[in-house]
Each structure stands twice: as C-alpha cells, then as structure tokens.
Structure 1
Amino acid sequence: MQELELLSTIGFGGSVRDGLHVHPERQHLVYPLGCTVVVEKIGGKRSQQFLQGHTDKVSCVTVSPSGRYIASGQITHQGYAADIIIWDFKTLALKHRLTLHKVKVADLSFSPTEKFLVSLGGEDDGTLALWDVESGQALAGAPTADTSGGHAATLSFTNRDDFTFVSGGKYTIRVWDINPRTHALTPTNCVLRSLRRLVTCMAISADDELAYCGTSTGDVVIISIPHKVLKGTGPAKNPFPRGVSCIATTPTGELLVGAGNGTIARCSSKSLKPLQQNTLVGAVTSIALTPGGSDMYVGTDDCDIYRCGDVSTYEERAICHPHGVCDVEFPRGTSDLFATCSHHSVRVWHTPTGKQLLAINVPGVKCNAMTFTPDGKLIVTGWEDGVIRGFLPQSGKEKFNIQHAHNNGVTAIAVTNDSGRIVSGGGDGLVRVWRLGKQSQTLLESMKEHKGAVTDIRVRSNDEECVSSSADGSCIIWDLNRFVRNQIMFASSVFSQVRYRPDEAQLLTCGSDRKVHYWEAFDGSLIRELEVSSTGALYALDISPDGRYFAAGGQDKLLKLITFDEGETAYVGQGHSGDITRVAICPNQQYIISVTNTGSIFRWAYPAA
C-alpha cells in the first residue's frame, strides 16, 4: 500500500485562533488545514508543502522567533492525549512529538531564544507545560486555574526574557516566572481590582512592559508586566462588537485588533481608540504581520485569507468554502476545471492552480447536488429549498429555475447525455424527469418507489436507463423511455453514492455499512461485497475512466484508491480532518479531488500506470 501524493489544498482552518503566520523569512505563510499544517509560498507560482503527523484537527500553530521551528497542537477524543509536534522548518521534518495534555492543546508559545516552548491544555486538561525545545523533554507543569479565576485560554512569552510568560483566561491574568536552575513555574496573579473579563487573546509590547489582553466583551485590558497590575481598559465608549478575537502589535507601537463581527482596526496603544478600521466577512481570527510590518495577512472564520497593505485596503488572497462541501464534479472531457457546491454557493475552480474562477451565491440556501450538462453550457444544481437552478458557467448568471421540484429539497441531480433532460431526486424519495428546453422546463414523469431520500443518480450512456441510490437501502434502475422500474437492489445500508463502471456491465454502491457493493447491471444481482473501511460509513465513491481503480472515502477520513478487479487498496491519502463527503477522478486521470464536511478541498496526484 502506497501513499497518494497530495499536490495542493484549497482551504484554511479559520476557526483556529492566531493560526495564520508569516514566516520570519517573509517568503511563506504557515496555517492549519484540518490535521495538516500548510506551508505556502507567498510570491510567484503558488506552491504548497504539507506537515502531516497529527491524527486529528490542528487546534493551534506557532512559529519560533527566528523561524527555525514550527509547533502545532491538536484536539482529540475525550480522555485521550493530544499531541504537540515541533517541526524543523528547513527540512519540514518532525523534530519532536510531545504528549502530555488531554483532549486539546489550546495555545503554544516559543521563548525569545527558542530554548523553551510553553503549551496550554484546553478546559478538559487545565494545565500548562514547559518543554525543552532541543531535547523535547517536559521540564515543568502547573494547573492554570487558581482560587479566584478559571482556566486560561491563551498565553504568550515576553519578547526579551526566556523566563517570563503571561497567561489569560476566565477572570484571571497571570504572569509566570521560570526558575533558571530548577525550571519551577511560579505564577503571580495580576491585580485586576473589580474587573472581571474573559481573556480570549493576547499581545506583548516590544519592550515587554505591557500585555494587551483582548476580551469577549469587546474591550482590551492593559496589564503592566513588571508590576503585575491593571493599567487600563478601552476603548472607553464603543467596545468591539462580538468581542476581540485576535490582537497584534505593530513595529510602530500601535495595536491591530480583530473583532468577532469582522472589524479590523488600527488602535492607539495608549487610549485604545480606533484610528482606522474596516470590515471583512466573518470573525477575524488571525492577524499576521510581515517582519517590518509593511504588509499583513488576515484570516477569518469564514476560512478566507486577505492581504492588507493597511487596514483601509485589502485584497483576497485565498477564498474557501466556510462550510462543508456537498458535491464535486468535473465537466465532460476536461480536467482543467472542477466545481463544488456548499451552503449558499456553487464555485468553479482552476484545477492546476486552485484559483477560484467563479462564485455563484444564493444566500440562505444549501446546495445539495450539482452537475455540468454534457455540452458544457449549463451548471445544473439542486437546492435545499426544493428548487432546481441552472446557471451559465462563464458568468454565473441564472438561466432558469424550477420551483417546487421536490418537497423536502433536491438531493440528487443528473443530466442525460444529449443534454435534453434533467433527472432529479428529492428528500421525498421521488425521482423526476424534466424536459430541458431552451425557453422552458417541463415535468415529463414522476417515479415513486424509494421510501427515503434519493442520494445519487447516474444516467447510462445511451440515455435509456438511469440508476438512483437511496437512504432507504435500495438502488433502482429506471427505464427512461417507459418511466418504470427495471431492476431493484437491496442492502442493509444507507446508500450514499452509486456509479456505473465505464463498460456499464456493473454498478458500484457505497454506504453506511462501510462496504462497497458490486452489482450486475443487467439483472441487479449482487456480485461481491468489499469492506473498505473498518471504522465508519462511506460517503464518497468514483471510478476511474479506464475502470482500473475506484476511489472511496468517508468517516475514517482516509481516501483510498482500490483496484476494481482485485478489490485491493493500492493507495491511501491522509490529511483530511473531516469526513470525506465526495470524490471525483478527473477525465484524463491526472488528478483526484476530494472534499470534506469541513469545507476543505484536496487535490491528489492520480498514480501513473
């Protein structure tokens, strides 16, 4: 069994606070995506490298002051240990795997000389740990909560002193001193008087005099680090809506504040009054300044990355799906483009570069399924509001919509090979055939056999038959001339996808029983069952154009390329943090595209023959 080569990703872990970083050498961005850490080249031709070693979603990322190391932490299941990995940036190799915290690693910070790494566990863990970076040994640990406050949510080393760091959390801000000889940790609670705040993020001034602590109530708390007392709060009148979600200091001493409503502001470090501000889409979760502060990159929880010269102007660097992707399709005969659909949007991407070419937005509605017409003139989509919408692929303009196509949403869609008919499936179990005219769309027939939602539809090359899979555990082959059932197949499974083999003699299905079923297309008899996953349901299935392999994935987050005849797993792709919802092999067998319920898109190299 060999590893599939991951070529590129489209996505950004925007929910990870302070997850986006500019490497000190100014040539690369570092950010999380699922259980992978991505190192992306900033200038020139887009290239990505991947740090893969985590077993679950990456929860925090930091880069050492010189850029020599990257550290990343993860979340895991209740009761299990969550790993921290220190990576060597030059070789992109795993230097140390550190295991101590339970369930989640909430934050990480390197000391100024990179001698120490301090890590913070989540609420279920409630401890912080001090690590020796060179040896990977744990030197000390301590609980983060005290008698007056709750668990810490964030921490940061000072900029000049290896033996001092600051933590903040629920009603508490503490300055920690490290004993140079024994490495014992001594916390001192800062005097906050009657102030009670939930600290969400933190930045330290360049001279190590002040800690700026962003709070969930939208103000910034200033702490004197040497004296461990409250210096002030602000802005005085208008706190940032939905809380301060990230904060950074500029080389000129000003503050950059990101808020939960998408506001990014440049503030005075003394009065905390906004001097300049702008609003992005989604809560601002990361602000990454280039060394010298000439540029900054801003990440949002809508999974978008923006490049800003200053606060008032910005350009989109990376636009991604903020929600799970429901479907992915290539147009007939080309591998240069593919399209995906998700909540509120259908997007068309350039395959080699991952650049978004077109975004079609329908606010407030989820797109469940989509396909290209074989002549390439339309993108036909099925939506949760029961409407079938057709769009022009060049402009994204809506060409037609069929209202009330299905009662419980349109869940599957296909177009005949002459581009003359649409076959749709719904949450109501109906399979309907529509005449696709130039000016009108008319219902030809409605076929009711399925008791559950229709999950997938595929049309035979001669346009005389189609096959539909359903959540009720049945697959039905329909006659598209007489509009009756030709064959029906049953299994103890919630079917998610069905595919014809290229010669159309056999069918493949996958579903909740973790198996891929081989069926005879002529009489619907079961040929064989193949257990593909040992841990979870299968949601994604596609067969290569030459019929040699099929790709499958699902809850186990592994993309598997399996030989069709032998049923042996030949290649495995790792790196997804969410369930694989769909997979597509491109027509020229150059790429495999997999999409997940976390919104990320992965492009893999199809193995050479």
Structure 2
Amino acid sequence: VEAPVEAPLEGPGPEAGPADALELEHIVGGANNSLGALVAHPIDNDAYVQAMNSLVLIGSLSDPHAQVCLRGHDMPVTALAISPTGALIASGQEGSIHHKGFHAPVVIWDYETRSPLFTLLGHTRRVANVRFSPDERFLCATGEDSLLYVWDVGTGEVVFAKRFNSPVSIFRWTAVVDGPRRPHYMASYCVKQEVFAATFAFDPVRRQWNLDGQLVACPNKAERTYHDAAVTMDARYMLAGSALGEMAVFRIDTRVFCATLPLCTGGLTAIAIDESDHLDENAVAFCGAGDGTVRRLRGRDMQWADDGALVTLPAAITSLSFTAQRNRLLATTAAGELYALDALDLAPTLINAAHTGELTAVAFGEASDRVATASMDGTVRVWDLSDYRCVTTIRGPKGVAPRCLAWGSNGLLITGWNDRAVRAHRASDAEQVWEIPNAHRSEVTAVCAHSGPTMDYVASGAADGGIRIWSGTGREMLVQFSEHTKGITRLMVDNTHPHLVHSCAADCATMTYDLRKKRRTLCRMVRSGAFTAMCQRLDSEQEVLTFDVNGRVLFWDCDFPDPVTLALTLSITLTPTLILPLTLTLTPTL
C-alpha cells in the first residue's frame, strides 16, 4: 500500500491492539534504591519478593527462569512487605503523576494466585512503610504526607488514620496480646529522632480502634533520622539504624533508651535479627551500611559487640532479609546487585547484577543467548540469557558513558562514548582491543560494523550529524558524510549488500550510503517526527523500517521515495533503543 509522505498516515489505533501481544519473558537487572525493596519469603526458602520500578517481582534463588511480575502500580514501588505466613504481599508506591492528587495507593496481593486483593487509597506523595500485623489481620502504612493508615486486611476498610507533625519514618508491629474480648497490638514507630512505644487497641466507648503512643525516654536529644529497625523475638528490644551510622537500642516494653553504638559511615540502612539463635540469651543482629559493609553483632540491653563477621559489598546496602531456613541473608545494594550471604561467615554469592543508570543501547550478537547492554552508569554488560547472569562487565574511563554499541567480528563489542571515542572490547574478558580517540567533534551516538572477505569497516555517527567510516584493520578514516543536520540515532549495515550503510537521525531523514562509490545514494524525509531507531526486514523486499517520536513505524522500499506502509501508530512516544531485525509477518491496514 502506497501512502504519500505529506498525507496524514493512519493506522490501527492503540485500542485495536496487536493480534498476538508479546509475552514478557524475563526482566534482567533493575535497580531500586528504596530501602527494604526486597523481602525473602518466610516459608519458601528459595522465593523472594522484590520491587523493581512499578513492578513487584516474585523470584527464585534456585531457578532464574521462575519469575512472576505483578502489575498494579503506575509509579515506582517504594515500600514492600510480606505477611508472616507468606500468603499476602503489600506494596506501596510514589505519588502518581498520571492522575490528579498524586495518590500513592497500597496494593495487597494474594501470593498463591498472584492477583491483587485490594487497592488501598489514602496516601499521597510517597509510601514509606508497609507492615502486616503478626496475625495478618491489619496492615499499617506510613508516608511522606505524615499520615499513618491502618486497614483491615480481610475487608480493605480503614480502621485507623492519623496525621503527625512529621512523617513516620519507621513503623513496626511487635506483639499481639490476647484480651478478654479482642486482642490488642503492641507497636513501635519513629517520628524524626523520637521513638514511641504504642498500643493499638479497640476503644469500646468510642467504638473504634485507637493507636496510643508513649514516648521512649532518651537522654540524647540529637537530631537523628532512622532508616530501618528490627524487633527481637521477645518483643522487648528494638534496634534502629540511623543516618549517622549508629545502632540505637531501645527497651520498648519499659520505654527506656539503652545504648547507641557507632558502627559505620554512610548511615545504617538495614538491620536483620536472627531469631533462630537461642544458644544463649544474646540476640544476633546483622547490620548493613551505606559504606557497603554488613557486620554481625551479638548482645542484649546495653552490651553489644562485633563478633568479627564482616563483608564489604561494592555499594551501599539497601535491604537485608533472612531466607525461611535462616541459613542465608539476602542483601541488595544501591548498584542493583542481589547477594546471598552465608549466615555463618557472611560469604557473599552474587545472584543478580544490574545497571544503575539509563540504558542507552542493546544488541544481540550472532547467537541469541548473549545480549549486550550499555548504560549511562559507564558500563557495558554482556548477559547470558540461559540463566540471565552478567558474564562480562566493561567499564570505560571515569566519568565517561557509552551511548551506543554493536557486535563486530570475533566476539568484539564496538562502542561509542560521550567522550567522542570509539572503542572495541572482547566480550569474553572485557579486554580493550583498540580505540579511536576523538573520532568525532561531539559524542558518538551510533555505530555499526562489517567484516568480510571484501570489506572490513566500522561506521560511527555523532550528535552533530556527522558519519565517518573507519578501516576495520588500521582504524584510519576512509570517508566522511555530513548530510544530516541533527544527531544520528542509528546506523545499520544492509542485510544483503554490505557496501550499503543506512542511517536515520533526529532531522526526520533516513539516508543510504554506498561505500564503494563513497557517496549518498538515497535520502528520504518526513515533515515531522524525528527518527529514533531503524531496522531492516529479512523477508519480502528487504524494506527498511523507521521508528519516530510520533509513535509511527514506517516501511521504506529502496525503489520508492515515500514510505510504502504504516505498520503501527501508538498514542505514546516510541523511543526504542534498538529494534531487532526480526522477520515480520504483519499485514497492516491503512
């Protein structure tokens, strides 16, 4: 079907949807810097629940393919909890920018069916804590709006709400005490540097539940912000980690401050208590810090000591959680890594790795089980999709980030960087093989390469619209093209004629260059819609596909100056990092 460029191109709207939607296979990596963003399942020793952007993931330590995504949030998940029996999951999010009021809902999920039970409204801005009561009857949530809500888990109804002068940074249920008619609940919470021991009980006179908090006496009135807290099994002591790197010990049953222990730098961000250790009267606490250290302490009341078990991870600790059998401690870091620490000696085992910055490129090699990704965090990673492990990490010079990548011959990864250089590394061991410094006058935004018996070259494009062709052996410049007026977004070697190189750019133009003739042979433009990516069909007439910021996918035939097909029109901006050259069988209707 032929469609003139100047005419409005129309296709099936977003409500029509594809006939066969792509199924999400797996999410690799993903960093969430919210504290407590991972919780181990209390019954299943291999299962854990993790917050990743707006998703809640259920993963397995033994089977990397066993991953389930729970979708119910439209903003990053900032708080996560799992009930004591493991039957329920609760998750809270940042305030939504997609709806009026910046509402931050809390979702309760059924773990077995992987389906939402309730969506609880009330909080705005950001949910900071969610906690199930020990008997799973109530769920408490606190947020940056200084509100504290308690819901009945069985009905989803609000049973208590209170606004504080400042946000409640920590809330922990401590015990359930049987009463003559109804049980009452003991809890502790922190508001700034103040710690409260509270009773949550039903008031028969007012016929409603009430939270009565009593201030814990503390001789030191220094300003503190508490990041995390854990309560001992006997519900007598609460250990709280502060932003000053101290562990504060509170006797919550008598509301007395016991001790403060300076432990680390960067803040004490995570605390986990080993409740299985009953060899003596001492409690065992594992403390994770902003300096990446995890240490083990033993003690009680005012007497605590480091027993020598210490491990240092590459980045700040964001969560600590014991597995069901309490033989391993799951630790996440600000670098997006998940480690399993042996509870005896804290020996770390890397489970998952991740980029910490925006992804800028992704590309498959000749085999479909290896994929490379580039990120603004300054790294290029190679992933093995058979088990989703990161097998190679390539790091550039300090302060430099990769903007594009392509696979070359013999397992080379060719990358373009924002310091204007083009580099090649071996994907097997991250060793740099060669470098072209100052390859362009601005950052390199697109690369491609071809190596064959007749031609061996590397093509690079830059943010200033320039394209340069380099010898694949000597790396000297062979030819330069300057037809584009804005940044190059994609370069691609033709499927059947390797002497042809296709380009697309932010100037709404796509061009084809003949390297044998050293000149441009085709130029195609649209009035609006900067091109963000392109690929080429493997079947039919080998058409080139372009993707633009207006959400359009256009098919271009080398024999026609105008696009021959509009395959898709999206209501959102389509900015793919890379579209793989899959065989397409879609027959669009214009």
TM-score (norm 1): 0.83
Report the CA distance between 1:417 and its aligned residue. Answer: 5.8
Alpha-carbon distance change, 159 to 240 in structure 1, aligned in 2, over 3 angstroms: farther
Residues 430-469 of structure 1 correspond to what in structure 2 (within 5 A)? 430-437=466-473, 440-460=474-494, 461-469=496-504
Report the CA distance between 1:477 and its aligned residue. Answer: 2.1
1:280 corresponding residue in structure 2 = 313
Q: Render the CA deviation track for 1:72-127: whole Å, top value 9, x for unaligned.
A: 11123352222211112222222222122113221101111111110112x2x220
2:171 corresponding residue in structure 1 = 155
2:547 corresponding residue in structure 1 = 510
Alpha-carbon distance change, 275 to 165 in structure 1, aligned in 2, over 3 angstroms: same
Q: Distance in 1 between matches of 2:394 and 2:587?
A: 36
Q: Distance in 2 between matches of 1:456 and 1:99?
A: 44
Report the CA distance between 1:282 and its aligned residue. Answer: 1.0
Query: In structure 2, which of residues 571, 574, 587 is the aligned counterpart of residue 534 of structure 1?
Result: 571
Aligned pair 1:422/2:454, yes or no?
Answer: no
2:284 corresponding residue in structure 1 = 254
1:585 corresponding residue in structure 2 = none
Work out whether residues 565 and 588 of structure 2, in 8 Å CA contact, stay in contact via their aligned partners in 1.
Answer: no
Query: In structure 1, which of residues 302, 316, 341 is the aligned counterpart of residue 350 of structure 2?
Result: 316
Alpha-carbon distance change, 298 to 377 in structure 1, aligned in 2, over 3 angstroms: closer
Work out whether residues 11 and 33 of structure 1, in 8 Å CA contact, stay in contact via their aligned partners in 2.
Answer: no
Query: In structure 1, which of residues 62, 82, 85 is the aligned counterpart of residue 104 of structure 2?
Result: 82
Q: Distance in 2 between matches of 1:168 and 1:486?
A: 69
1:138 corresponding residue in structure 2 = 158
Residues 466-505 of structure 1 correspond to what in structure 2 (within 5 A)? 466-488=501-523, 489-502=525-538, 503=540, 505=542
SS at match of 2:198: strand
Q: Distance in 2 between matches of 1:197 and 1:272?
A: 21
Q: Distance in 2 between matches of 1:134 and 1:158?
A: 20
SS at match of 1:7: coil
1:267 corresponding residue in structure 2 = 297
1:187 corresponding residue in structure 2 = 213
Alpha-carbon distance change, 541 to 355 in structure 1, aligned in 2, over 3 angstroms: closer
Q: Distance in 2 between matches of 1:422 and 1:249?
A: 56
Alpha-carbon distance change, 80 to 530 in structure 1, aligned in 2, over 3 angstroms: farther
Work out whether residues 169 and 200 of structure 1, in 8 Å CA contact, stay in contact via their aligned partners in 2.
Answer: no
Aligned pair 1:366/2:366, yes or no?
Answer: no
Q: Distance in 2 between matches of 1:293 and 1:188?
A: 33
SS at match of 2:105: strand
Q: Render the CA deviation track for 1:438-462: whole Å, top value 9, x for unaligned.
A: xx22110111122222111112130
Q: Distance in 2 between matches of 1:157 and 1:46?
A: 34
Moved more, 490-499 or 426-435: 490-499
Q: Distance in 2 between matches of 1:115 and 1:386?
A: 59
Q: Render the CA deviation track for 1:415-474: whole Å, top value 9, x for unaligned.
A: 13637111101123210001101xx22110111122222111112130232221222333
SS at match of 2:202: coil
In structure 1, the gaps of 5 or more residues are: 549-562, 568-609
Aligned residues: percent identity?
24
Amino acid paired to 1:370 = L
Aligned pair 1:168/2:190, yes or no?
Answer: yes
Moved more, 424-433 or 363-372: 363-372
2:14 corresponding residue in structure 1 = none
Alpha-carbon distance change, 449 to 512 in structure 1, aligned in 2, over 3 angstroms: same
Work out whether residues 175 and 186 of structure 2, in 8 Å CA contact, stay in contact via their aligned partners in 1.
Answer: no
Report the CA distance between 1:232 and its aligned residue. Answer: 2.0
Q: Distance in 2 between matches of 1:77 and 1:265?
A: 37
Q: Distance in 2 between matches of 1:271 and 1:485?
A: 78
Work out whether residues 163 and 180 of structure 1, in 8 Å CA contact, stay in contact via their aligned partners in 2.
Answer: no
Amino acid paired to 2:240 = C
Q: Render the CA deviation track for 1:532-566: whole Å, top value 9, x for unaligned.
A: 33243533452553222xxxxxxxxxxxxxx3534
Alpha-carbon distance change, 12 to 392 in structure 1, aligned in 2, over 3 angstroms: closer
Report the CA distance between 1:377 and its aligned residue. Answer: 3.5
Work out whether residues 146 and 164 of structure 2, in 8 Å CA contact, stay in contact via their aligned partners in 1.
Answer: yes
Q: Distance in 1 between matches of 2:448 and 2:138?
A: 57
Report the CA distance between 1:376 and its aligned residue. Answer: 4.3
How many residue pairs end up in the alignment? 540
Report the CA distance between 1:337 and its aligned residue. Answer: 1.7
Q: Render the CA deviation track for 1:177-221: whole Å, top value 9, x for unaligned.
A: 212342122233333342321111111121111221111111122
Alpha-carbon distance change, 89 to 487 in structure 1, aligned in 2, over 3 angstroms: same
Alpha-carbon distance change, 169 to 326 in structure 1, aligned in 2, over 3 angstroms: farther
Q: Render the CA deviation track for 1:568-592: whole Å, top value 9, x for unaligned.
A: xxxxxxxxxxxxxxxxxxxxxxxxx
Aligned pair 1:10/2:33, yes or no?
Answer: no
Alpha-carbon distance change, 48 to 159 in structure 1, aligned in 2, over 3 angstroms: farther
Report the CA distance between 1:254 and its aligned residue. Answer: 1.9
2:267 corresponding residue in structure 1 = 243
Work out whether residues 474 and 491 of structure 1, in 8 Å CA contact, stay in contact via their aligned partners in 2.
Answer: no
More relative contact order, 1 or 2 (CA 8 Å, 6+ apart): 1
Alpha-carbon distance change, 133 to 492 in structure 1, aligned in 2, over 3 angstroms: same
Q: Render the CA deviation track for 1:28-51: whole Å, top value 9, x for unaligned.
A: 111112222111222356422222
Q: Distance in 2 between matches of 1:352 and 1:159?
A: 45
Q: Render the CA deviation track for 1:455-502: whole Å, top value 9, x for unaligned.
A: 111121302322212223332222222332223324423321122233
Q: Distance in 2 between matches of 1:377 and 1:284?
A: 35
Q: Distance in 2 between matches of 1:112 and 1:409?
A: 55
Q: Distance in 2 between matches of 1:405 and 1:504?
A: 34
Work out whether residues 74 and 96 of structure 2, in 8 Å CA contact, stay in contact via their aligned partners in 1.
Answer: no
Alpha-carbon distance change, 485 to 44 in structure 1, aligned in 2, over 3 angstroms: closer
Q: Distance in 2 between matches of 1:221 and 1:261?
A: 18
Q: Distance in 2 between matches of 1:409 and 1:498?
A: 20
Q: Distance in 1 between matches of 2:510 and 2:527?
A: 9
Q: Distance in 1 between matches of 2:58 and 2:48?
A: 6
Work out whether residues 32 and 53 of structure 2, in 8 Å CA contact, stay in contact via their aligned partners in 1.
Answer: no
In structure 2, the gaps of 5 or more residues are: 1-16, 178-183, 278-282
Moved more, 536-545 or 218-227: 536-545
TM-score (norm 2): 0.86
Report the CA distance between 1:173 and its aligned residue. Answer: 2.2
Moved more, 159-168 or 194-203: 159-168
Q: Give the number of the structure whose residues are more often strand, by fraction.
A: 1
Structure label with greater radius of gyration: 2
Alpha-carbon distance change, 139 to 13 in structure 1, aligned in 2, over 3 angstroms: farther
SS at match of 1:102: coil
Report the CA distance between 1:248 and its aligned residue. Answer: 1.4
Report the CA distance between 1:306 and its aligned residue. Answer: 0.8
Residues 340-359 of structure 1 correspond to what in structure 2 (within 5 A)? 340-342=373-375, 343-359=377-393
Report the CA distance between 1:366 and its aligned residue. Answer: 1.1
